[in-house]
Amino acid sequence: MITRSKEDNKEFKEQLERKGAEVVEAPMIQFKVSGNLTAIHEQLNQLESIDWIVFTSPKTVEFFFAIAEDFGTKFYYYPDLKLATVGEKTKLKLEHLGYRTNFVPIQYTAEVLAENMDENIEGKNVLIPQSNIASKEYLEVFNKRGAQPIPVTIYETLAVNYPVDSFIKKVNAIDYVTFASGSTFKAFMENAKSSGVKLTKEKIICIGPSTAKVVQQYNQKISAIAEPHTTEGMTSAIEKLEEYV
């Protein structure tokens, strides 16, 4: 089972199918642009005071630059502005739009990015466009290093609710369930609760430690954490588990 949003599932599905897996699609989240863009418009109006913009996901890149384009922002006016991305997929999304990242952490987590981005970050302003449910933990890392993080909500992550019969049917068909974010797991558990479903034989695969941390909060057993923290890493993790079946 793959639980990412409908638009983000295609590539992961193809990866798994190339390996011979039968994929059950069950998108657990969907996205929409924030209903109030005042805060991000204020930041776009004063980009000359921003030193870095941090993108923690391809979805954040997508929404941010769509909002900036609608607002009429011209980024070539700000040649000193630097961009940082968490993960290769986020970097590629940025490049696809014609921009270049200045920093990608070795490990694909926001915490590692905050710890290692710009050795002279003290006193610098870091704009962080994000979703309404984004983690706040890595912001503390920036604060401890003397930076000035500016988190701004630009889009909303919403849970998808399934009819009971449909959800039970999907779960009954799976051997593995994959989670690429804590929000997908929380939405899954909401559906499980309303459907009376309990995870017993299914193996849980997480894309990274942040997602795993959410799963552990629900006292659920994790069979594997992807390394690297990508969909390719999750596919490899499933293959390795299959070798020991």
Residue 104: phi, psi to the nearest 5?
-130, 125
Amino acid 6: pLDDT: 87
Q: Are residues 51 and 115 in the same domain?
A: yes
Q: How many domains does the chain have?
A: 2
pLDDT in tens, 41-73: 999 999 999 999 999 999 999 999 999 999 999
Amino acid 109: pLDDT: 82
Q: Are residues 183 and 106 in the same domain?
A: no
Amino acid 245: pLDDT: 60
Low-confidence ranges of the chain (pLDDT < 70): 245
Residue 177 is assigned to a structural domain of this protein: yes
Nearest alpha-carbon partner for 28 in 55, 9, 13, 56: 9
Q: Are residues 111 and 213 in the same domain?
A: no
Q: Are residues 143 and 176 in the same domain?
A: no
Which residues have a Cβ under 8 Å from the Cβ of 56 and sit 6 or more positions away?
85, 86, 90, 110, 113, 128, 130, 134
How does 76-92 read in b/e, with b if 16+ C-beta sit within 10 Å?
A: eeeeebbbbbbbebbbe
Residue 181 belongs to what domain range?
6-28+161-243
Q: Are residues 152 and 165 in the same domain?
A: no
Q: What is the CATH number of the domain that holds 134?
A: 3.40.50.10090
Residue 1 is assigned to a structural domain of this protein: no
Dihedral of alpha carbons 84, 2, 156, 191, sign: negative
Q: Are residues 173 and 55 in the same domain?
A: no
